Amino acid sequence: MPSASLVGTGLLPGYSLKFHKLSNKDGTGKCNIIAGESGVYVAIFELTETDRSKLNQFEGLGYGYDDHKIQVDQYGACSTYIAAANAIDDSLAPTDWYREYVLRGARFHRFPINYISVLESQSTVADSDQDRAKREWMLVEKLQDGM
């Protein structure tokens, strides 16, 4: 979102990151946070209400993701998307390019190496749509250049 401005990073100690949210677009696993012990590192952004509305639409708010408020030390209440119970499938895996987006963000924000190692060990699936995979990998590479 054009107005997104990084505020900082934090740790959610009472949550775990999973790639088990069913994507409405490609049937693969997308990120979700659930109650758990491992902790999830997060980046906190501010954005305008107009961009927030656009992000809600892009992320599919109400179609598998619900808006939740979470408490992040040093930042207070923050909004995030958490998968609806009927959109969770623990058998899912992310595409290779999707996991790479998550990894590049974690590296950019200098999350701990042990956290990054867990992300790297996440199994992936090949995208069945080769055109989409090619587009997404091109965007992944552009992200690297812009970071």
Q: What is the pLDDT of residues 25-37, one digit of tens each?
A: 899 999 999 998 8
User: Does 147 score more than 70 pLDDT?
Assistant: no
Q: What is the pLDDT of residues 38-70, one digit of tens each?
A: 899 999 999 999 999 999 998 889 989 999 999
Q: What is the pLDDT of residues 86-139, one digit of tens each?
A: 999 999 999 999 999 999 999 999 999 999 999 999 999 999 999 999 999 999
Superfamily in which the 5-146 domain is placed by CATH: Gamma-glutamyl cyclotransferase-like (3.10.490.10)
CA angle 38, 147, 66 (to 5 degrees): 45
**What is the residue extent of each domain of the chain?**
5-146
Report the predicted TM-score, pTM, of the whole model to 2 decimal places. 0.92
Long-range contacts of 133-136 (CB under 8 A, 24+ apart): 133/95, 133/97, 136/95, 136/97, 136/98, 136/101
